[in-house]
Every structure is written in structure tokens, then in C-alpha cells.
A and B are shown apart, each in its own frame.
Chain A
Amino acid sequence: MFTFLEKNPFFFTLAFVVAFAVAGVVEILPNFFKSARPIEGLKPYTILETAGRQVYINEGCYNCHSQLIRPFQAEVQRYGAYSLSGEYAYDRPFLWGSRRIGPDLHRVGDVRTTAWHEKHMLDPTSVVPGSIMPAYKHLFKKDADFNTAFAEAYTQKEVFNVPYDKPGGVQLGDMQKAKKLFLEEAKGIVDHMQDPEIKAALKEGRVKEIVALIAYLNSLGQGRIEAPKASAKGQ
């Protein structure tokens, strides 16, 4: 039988595909039918948060920071409640990471403030002596990409049925309305920041990348989950 296969590349390839496919069918398919459902009260990312998430991805933050708290006593004490599958339901792509050169960030929104992040991104050692994280000064200069963030949120809504524009939930609307909400939310962050240039830029209708990134980091943790009661009231 094997000699036969070795003389027929076509059947050889076919035999390989069979051997190869078994694991995928057994291990991956079942999970997809129970596709990760959002936990109750989970809100999608706002556009500002989406823009910040894109900054997080583009800068490769996932190379050093995980977003997955494992169910161990030491991790729960250090980072907060362990991660649940349903918390990631709107994460495309997932950002669990594979190495902790820096601490886990899945609940960082509960732990750090806007002012802390601002200082940290300018000069990490000013708040964490001994930190080996690089400073991210360029995030204070560049404008956040509203259009791409809007495109992502819009795609999430249209293609994947992510619940934007539900009463009491995260609003998206058309581009103009979205831009207005984007600026309003940015103001909420900038009010807690020091940098005068960022405040000046916001007055001209420009939002810096650092503002979006902080909005995203603040959303990590319980920030995007409403208490079940509140969500029932909203509907």
C-alpha cells in the first residue's frame, strides 16, 4: 500500500490530507458551533477605543503584554479576576499575546488612571523604576486614525452583527455623528491629561494617538461590562 502511494503523488497528497484533517475536525469544529458568546452586559468598543486598539496593534504591544489572566491564585492577585471566553466576543483579532515581558493588561483599566498612562508613555521609568519599556513619545505627535476606526466598527456592525446603535448601548451612527461622539469621548480623556499641546489639538478637532490608546487601555477590565441590572434597565 505504501509503495503504491510513493509512486503516485496525487494519492499520496490525498492520504496526507486525510491524516492531517482529522485533528482539525475533532478539535476546532465543535468549538465553532458554540462560538464564543459575549458575556452579559458586554459593550462593543467605542470608536475612540477602536482607534486606540489599532494603535496598540500597530505598535506591537502584544509582543510584550498578554491579555489573558490565567486561573491561578498568584495571577488573580496580581492582575485581577481571571479571563472569561465571553469577554473576548468582540475582539477581532484576539490579543492574548505569548510572552510577558511586561505585566498582563487584561484588567489594566481597573488599576491605572489616565494621568498615570500619560506619564508612563512619556517616560516609563518615572512611574515604574527599573522598567525596560521604551518611551512612546511619537504617540503624542501623531493623530489617531478616525476613518480606519470607523471603518472597523462599521464592518463589525454590518458583517458580524456586533450590537452597535442599540438603545442604551454604544452608538455609531453615520460618520458625522461618529466623529462628534469620538471628539466628545476624547475630551473626557484629555481633561485628565497634562500635555497642553494635546489639549490645543483637541480644540482644533484633532485627537492624538496617545488619547485613543489610553481610552482603549481604560476600557480593559470591567470598564466595558455593565452590571446586568443596568443593562436590563437600558433595554
Chain B
Amino acid sequence: MIAFGVIGMLIGVVLAFQLAFPKLNYILGEYGIFGRLRPVHTNGVIYGFTLGGIWASWYYFGQRVLKITYHDYPFLKAVGYLHFWIWILTLILGVVSLLGGITQSKEYAELAWPLDILVVVVWVLWGISMFGSMGVRRENTIYVSLWYYIATYVGIAVLYIFNNLSIPTYLVAHTGSLWHSISMYAGSNDALVQWWWGHNAVAFVFTSGVIGTIYYFLPKESGQPIFSYKLTLFSFWSLMFVYIWAGGHHLIYSTVPDWVQTLSSVFSVILIIPSWGTAINMLLTLRGQWHQLKESPLIKFLVLASTFYMLSTLEGSIQAIRSVNALAHFTDWIIGHVHDGVLGWVGFTLIAAVYHMVPRVFKREIYSGKLMDVQFWLMTLGIVLYFSSMWIAGITQGMMWRDVDQYGNLVYQFVDTVRVLIPYYVIRGFGGSLYLIGFFIFLYNVVMTIQKGRVLEKEPAYATPMGLR
């Protein structure tokens, strides 16, 4: 049943995980080459880990929900392979160029212009794969996961292209570096376009892409139908409409027009409604089935992911309120917010997705359910340490920056506010390490499943079988 291309994509996920590794340097506080490593970290997690997981999921469930197999469509299979290999090539070139200091400096869009063109090629290939598969589908209705994937596809395409419009200086002046280009926009306009992208990369990769993923794997794994079709419809369309407005909340108290800041702030608060709509829909899918939480570590991952989604979206809305933003902006509180989202929501969903796919693709029982459990608790503890230390650090620093004495003079030097954060950085490093150890356990468990897991006769209908070791 399973096309060969799917396996290639699964290996892609493993490779993608390896690309997420540079974040270690960040978490452990190795500031040696922080400025160069950080873009490798963010790009690795966004384009390597998250997109890798989304694409692996697409090649896995796409064929299932559309009731096709790539054995019948060699063209689509070839597109899948090409998509995979060009993506890997882009990632490798991206890491090398970023470490070499070749960057556009726009956050999450650091890649130089020749690589941007490669990214577009990768994206077009995914489009051919996705819309091509829908063209030959044997199932009339497009499953909800694919709504979200379509949104990811179109949303990212538009935002990425507009943000990366730039002029390669070599083509104009015929001298200097081939890699260098300058943005089509200047100053405040550039900032506006950049945060349109920067925020909505979160919207369409970390949010809509991952919601699409969980909408397939949660019902499949639990054997329960989605709680409410109407809630699904409502939260999809309202999320799509509302999310984009919120981009400007990165620019509160900046030099973009006030009314843009206010609109963004208001819509960021409204955003809580579709976000919680989705999360509640996920959680209520398990109504009457909460005992599965005890029985299956995989369900635990999915449920906690939904819970972290609620936490993170609530936090985001709070941070977008002007007065809170005045304190939180430029501090570690923002870093904390990003990481409870990415580690908890994105990471847990994709890990569960891989655990669901591997036994079915390789026809093997999960090597160890106990290890999954250990991994789950280690990672959860890691995330809690991570975000709680960053919350405290961020608020502390924000308060110290604005602290004035009775005569209105600043109380602290900047460096005082740096020193006070060191203990929190250590706690964060520890939390991050726990998450990483969990990740190694994950890798080990997946590899052992493929090599040593008990062979399955046929594909399980829902709950993933796992060993008792």
C-alpha cells in the first residue's frame, strides 16, 4: 500500500531533526558565535524540523485521505523524490552559507537570494505534488488536514516571496559579492513587510501546518471522530482571516503608523478565539476516552500538544496588548513564548506523528512504550523549566530597564540587567538539555523500531502497537 516515496520522506524527518541540533549551542549559552548560530537554529527548526515533519505527514496521509497510491502515479512519485532531494540540498547550502556569514539579516528569511530561488523551486514541487494528488483523487471531499495544508502552501508562498523581493547588487554594479542583495523596501516599510512574514511564518508553518497534522493523527490514533465539524469550519476560516492582521504586533511602539499597531494588537487578542476553538476541538475529541491518556504515551503527546497550543496562544495574545508589550518586547519573555509553542505544540505533535507513521510504514511494533513515556516526561519537564525561567527572566529584565529612582534617574546600568539573568539562562540550558535528551531517546526508539521492532502482520486500524519494554 505504501509508496516508496513515503519512506524517503521519513528519512527526511530524521535528517531534519539533525538540522535542528544547532539550537543546542543557543540553549547551552555558548555565545561564541551566537550571531551566526542563531539563524542556523531558527532556520533549522522552521525549515528542517517543522517543514520536514509536515512534508513527511503529507506524503504519508495525503495518499490515504485522497485514496490514491503513488504506485499508480509515477509522475507524482518522481515529484516527491525531487521535492525531497532539492529540499535537502537547500538545507545544506543554507547551513553552510549562514555559518559563513552570508545572510539577509531578516529574521527567518536570512537565506541569500540564490537560495531563496531554490526555496521557491522546493515550494513549487510541493504544490505540484499536493494539487496533482488532489487532481487524481478517488475521494470526493478534501479532508480538513488538507485545508490547513493548502493554507500553509499559499500563505507561505505569498509572504515569503514578498518579503524576499530584493535586488542582487552584482547584477546592477557588476562588482562585489554575487550573494549580496538589498531589500526592495526601506526602513519602516521593510520592517512591516518583514514582520508580516516573521509573524505569519509562525501562522502558516507552526500553526496551520501543524494543526493540519494533528487533525489527521489525533482522530486516527485515538479512534475517535473529531468533536465538532462546525467548530472545525469556524476555527479554520476565522483563523485564516484573523491571523494575518496580527503581524504588526511585533512593531508596537515602533515607527510604523499607530493605527497599524492598534489594529494588530486588537486582532492579536481576537486571535484567541479561533486558536482555542481548534484546541478545544482537539481536546473534546477525546471525550469519554480519557483513559487512553493512561494507556498510550502517544495520546499523551497529542493531548499535551493541544494544551501547549492553548497556553501559547493565550500568552501571545496577552503579549500583544500594548502595555504588556511595552514591558515584554525585546526581553526573554518573548523567547519563552516562542519555545512553549515550538517545543510543546509543534515538537510534540510532530513526534507523535512520527510515532504513528513509523510502525505503519515499516510494519513493525514500536520498540519501547516505556521509553516513550520516559521521553514524554523528560521533555515536558524540559519545556516547563524552559518557559518558566524565560518568563521570570523577561519580566525581571523588562522591569529593571524601566526602573527609575525618586529623582527620575535610571537605577540600573544595562549590564546589571544582563548579569541578573545568568541563573535563568542556566535553568533554561538545563531545561533545553532535558528536551534534547528526550529527542535522542526518540531517535533511538525510532531506529530500534525499524530494526528490531516486532513485525506486524497487518496495519493497525488505530492505536499504535508498542512493546512493553
Report Cα–Cα, A75/B398, bound state, in Å.
11
Please tell me if B454 contacts chain A, counting CB pairs below 8 Å: no
B186 near A88 (CB under 8 angstroms)? yes
Alpha-carbon gap, A35 to B255, bound state (A): 12
Q: Which of A11-19, A163-171, A189-197, A220-228 contacts B (4 or more CB under 8 A)?
A: A11-19
CB <8 Å contact, B244 and A59: no
Q: Which residue in B106, B172, B256, B263 is a CB contact (below 8 Å) of A93?
A: B106
Q: A12-B142, A36-B188, A64-B35 are in contact. Are A148 and B154 (CB under 8 A)?
A: no
Contact: B101 with A59, CB < 8 Å?
Answer: yes
B147 interface residue, CB < 8 Å from A?
A: yes
- Which B residue sits closest to A129, measured CB to CB? B415
Q: CB distance B35 to A61 under 8 Å?
A: yes
User: In the complex, what residues of B have CB within 8 A of residue A93's CB?
Assistant: 104-106, 182-183, 185, 190, 194
Which of B150, B183, B250 has a CB less than 8 Å from the CB of A16? B150
Whether A134 lies near B414 (C-beta < 8 A) is: no
CA distance A98 to B325 in the complex (A): 12
Contacts of A62 in B (CB 8 A): 35, 105
Asked if B288 lies at the interface with its beta carbon under 8 angstroms from chain A, I say no
Is there a chain A Cβ closer than 8 Å to B141's Cβ? Answer: yes
Binary interface encoding of chain B residues 171-206 relative to chain A, with 1 for a CB under 8 A from any of its CBs, else 0: 011111100101101111111111010100000000
Interface of A is mostly: helix
Known: A31-B260, A64-B34, A93-B105. A148 touches B240 (CB 8 A): no
A183 to chain B, nearest CB (A): 17
Which B residues are CB-close (under 8 A) to A63? Answer: 34-35, 38-39
**CB of A130 closer than 8 Å to a CB of B:** yes
Bitwise, A68-99 to B at CB < 8 A (1) or not (0) is 10111111011000011111111111111111
Q: Which residues of chain B from 253 to 268 have any CB-CB distance to chain A below 8 Å in the complex? A: 253-257, 260, 263-264, 267
Give the CA-CA distance A151 to B182 in the complex, in Å: 10
> Other CB < 8 Å A-B pairs besides A23-B241, A68-B254, A145-B177, 13 of them?
A7-B141, A24-B196, A27-B264, A28-B192, A31-B260, A32-B189, A62-B35, A72-B326, A93-B190, A94-B194, A103-B414, A148-B180, A155-B173
List 28 A–B pairs whose Cβ atoms lie within 8 Å, in order of A's numbering. Answer: A12-B147, A17-B154, A19-B237, A20-B154, A20-B244, A22-B241, A23-B267, A63-B38, A70-B329, A71-B253, A74-B403, A74-B410, A83-B254, A85-B255, A88-B188, A93-B106, A93-B194, A94-B194, A98-B107, A99-B335, A101-B418, A134-B33, A147-B175, A151-B177, A152-B169, A155-B167, A156-B182, A158-B173
